[in-house]
Amino acid sequence: MAQRATFPSNFVWGAATASYQIEGGHTDGGKGQSIWDKFSHTPGKIANGDTGDVACDHYHRYADDVALMSRMGLRSYRFSIAWPRIFPEGKGKFNRAGIEFYQRLVDRLLEHRILPFATLYHWDLPQALQEKGGWANRDVAHYFRDYAAAVYEALGDRVHHWITHNEPWVTAVLGYTTGVHAPGLADPRQGVAAAHNLLLSHGEAVLAMRDISAKGLHVGITLNLSPAYPASDSDQDVAAARKADAYQNRWFLDPVFKGRYPEDLLEMFGDLGTGIVADDLPVISVPIDFLGVNYYSRQIVRHDPAAPNGIGRVREPSSEYTAMDWEVYPDGLYTLLTRLERDYGPELYITENGAAYEDILTPDNKVHDDRRIAYLRGHLNACHRAIRDGAKLRGYFVWSLLDNFEWAFGYTRRFGVAYVDYQDQRRILKDSARWYRETISENGPELEEQA
Ligand code: IFM
């Protein structure tokens, strides 16, 4: 019998998804247009011209999907709420049919004893608010607070775990600075302002929710974090890695947990930082109950005078890479979790971790995704070691429950532990889903050699 890495008895085992990536039903139940509806319909933005119009059709199949979760032995499910279903214009008229969809979903989850974790924003901003400047407009932070309060009023009796934002770094950088995500802007100044307003909206939402009822409420924010390793011991590479850490990690961690922006980051921003309002920091740093961590890979950094801020990237040729071309590096998760404990100290959930591979559906309807199993096992072992060494890690959500719309990559990347046949919307459990079910029921994966 394999030895197991046993987790604490109350450890939360789950899987995660996001509204635009799985729901479809893009005009159903009075839903308004989101920036991703608009962006995905803009020629040239998404691989193969894919859109989330239908996606996994979860909007219509949610009951079957909850039954699938139950078959997988999941104890928890992290999903996101589509703001344009609740306020089709972003503010003003509340759409009852929109919230009823999530009430039905949550009721089903609870019937199956699956603990809901709801994310308020996973990137599908109402297009009407983009027309007012989107996250670069500070008013949108206040509209987000109102939206958060309305959703919490409607669902707070049955959902106790809330995440304000998913990966605000991605919203700001990919959406406003590089433009590969909706709304597709390439304006670094707006990127910095958007990041600040996202942080402000987070703090305002937490305060508003606590005002409504703090009883039983666990609220946090999810950040995409990635430790930066210098490519060599040279002072220049070490300094470049430190800058990469400021840009990737401390940009959001420090305002939320320390109430200040990192000095070295402000230096890097220079006059691009005009959207940063120091007076907002007390709201941004309102205490939260946990930090959600999305971890996929590390970064190896060298000094490169030709790269922005001198931050150059290095590829480790001996490593394995996923279909996203992301290095498989479980030890980076251990490094990250223990560093979060040392420097910030919050309770933690891994709110996303997983891998895309070129999965093949066999004629007898199987997907033998051994590499995904190895990826998950390696990362769970890293979690186990981090807990042993003091990290307050309370749960783990695999990304993702289902194959889904992978943003600019459309449907070309499969992250699910359940395979989706987009022709007929069949769900087929991959070997990794069976492995995960066993891991959950044993409360931990097979133990690996300790690093
Ligand atoms: O699919 C995304 C998800 O929406 C946010 N975190 C990373 C995942 C994989 O790219």
* Whether the CB of 403 sits within 6 Å of ligand 1: no
Phi, psi of 166 (to 5 degrees): -100, 115
Separation of CA 368 and ligand 1 centre (Å)? 22
Nearest residue to 169 via CA among 202, 137, 208, 143: 202
H/E run at residue 119:
strand 115-121
Mean pLDDT of 268-293: 98
Cα(236) to ligand 1 centroid in Å equals 32
* pLDDT greater than 60 at residue 451: no
From the CA of 122, give the closest atom in ligand 1: 4
CATH class of the region 12-442: alpha beta
Helix ranges restricted to H, 93-187: 96-111, 127-130, 139-155, 168-172
Query: Distance, CA 213 to ligand 1 centroid (Å)?
Result: 31
CA distances from 158 to 114, 240, 314 (A): 12, 46, 46
Tokens 């230096």, residue located: 267
- At residue 201, the pLDDT reads 99
**Ligand 1 atom index nearest CA of 166:** 5
Question: What is the Cα–Cα distance from 117 to 95, expressed in whole angstroms?
Answer: 22
- Using a pLDDT cut of 70, give the percent of the chain over it: 99
**57: its two tokens:** 């059709």
Contacts of 72 (CB under 8 A, 6+ apart): 15, 417, 418, 429, 433, 436, 437
- pLDDT at residue 450, rounded to an integer: 60
**SS3 call for 39:** helix
What amino acid positions are annotated as catalytic residues? 167, 352
pLDDT at 448: 87
Whether the CB of 399 sits within 6 Å of ligand 1: yes
Domain boundaries, the chain: 12-442
269 Cβ inside 6 Å of ligand 1: no
**pLDDT for res 425:** 98
Cβ distance 37 to 99 under 8 Å?
A: no
| pLDDT reported for residue 2 | 79
Non-local (6+) Cβ contacts of 1 within 8 A are none
CB of 36 within 6 A of ligand 1: the answer is no
- Separation CA 139–CA 143 (nearest Å): 6
Tell me the average pLDDT of the chain.
Answer: 98
Ligand 1: which atom is nearest the Cα of residue 406? 1
Ligand 1 site-directed mutation target among 36, 173, 351, 400, most atoms within 8 Å of CB? 400
- Match 């933005």 to its residue by tokens: 45
Would the pLDDT of 149 be above 80?
Answer: yes
Tokens of 369: 């995704």
DSSP state of 252: H
CA 279 – ligand 1 centroid, Å = 32
Answer whether 194's CB lies under 8 Å from 132's CB.
no
What are the pLDDT digits (tens) for 317-354? 999 999 999 999 999 999 999 999 999 999 999 999 99
| 327 Cβ contact list (under 8 Å, min separation 6) | 297, 298, 300, 315, 316, 319, 320, 321
Q: What mean pLDDT is predicted for residues 366-382?
A: 98
309's tokens: 């801020």
Q: How many angstroms is it from 211 CA to the middle of ligand 1? A: 31
Evaluate the omega torsion of the peptide bond into residue 400 and state whether it is cis, within 30 degrees of 0.
yes
| Mean pLDDT confidence for 410-421 | 99
Best mutation site among 248, 415, 420 for ligand 1 pocket (most ligand atoms within 8 Å of CB): 415
From CA 158, how far away is CA 141, in angstroms rounded?
A: 25
Paired strand residues for 218: 161
Closest CA to 71 of 451, 419, 434, 443: 434
- pLDDT tens digits, 53-87: 999 999 999 999 999 999 999 999 999 999 999 99
Which residue in the block uniquely carries the two structure tokens 């029921």? 441
Closest C-alpha to 37, from 16, 47, 51, 21: 51
Each residue of 157-214: pLDDT tens digit? 999 999 999 999 999 999 999 999 999 999 999 999 999 999 999 999 999 999 999 9
Which atom of ligand 1 approaches the CA of 407 most closely? Answer: 1
Residue with CA nearest ligand 1 atom 1: 406
- Report the b/e string of 372-399 with b at 16+ CB within 10 A: bbbbbbbbbbbbbbbbeeebbbbbbbbb
Residue nearest to atom 4 of ligand 1 (CA): 18
Instruction: Say what percent of the chain tops pLDDT 90.
Output: 99
**Is residue 280 helix, strand or coil?**
helix
Backbone angles phi, psi at 328, to 5 degrees: -85, 115
Average pLDDT of span 291-302: 98
Of all protein residues, the one whose alpha carbon is nearest to atom 2 of ligand 1 is 406
Instruction: Tell me if 359 CB under 6 Å of ligand 1.
Output: no
Q: Please tell me the distance between residue 330's alpha carbon and the centre of ligand 1 in angstroms.
A: 17
Q: What is the dihedral of CA 50, 54, 56, 57, to 10 degrees?
A: 180
The answer on pLDDT for 277 being more than 90 is yes
- CA of 406 from ligand 1 middle (Å) equals 7
Which H/E stretch holds residue 211? helix 188-212
| 392 closest CA partner among 299, 285, 250, 293 | 293
Which ligand 1 atom minimizes the distance to the CA of 354? Answer: 9
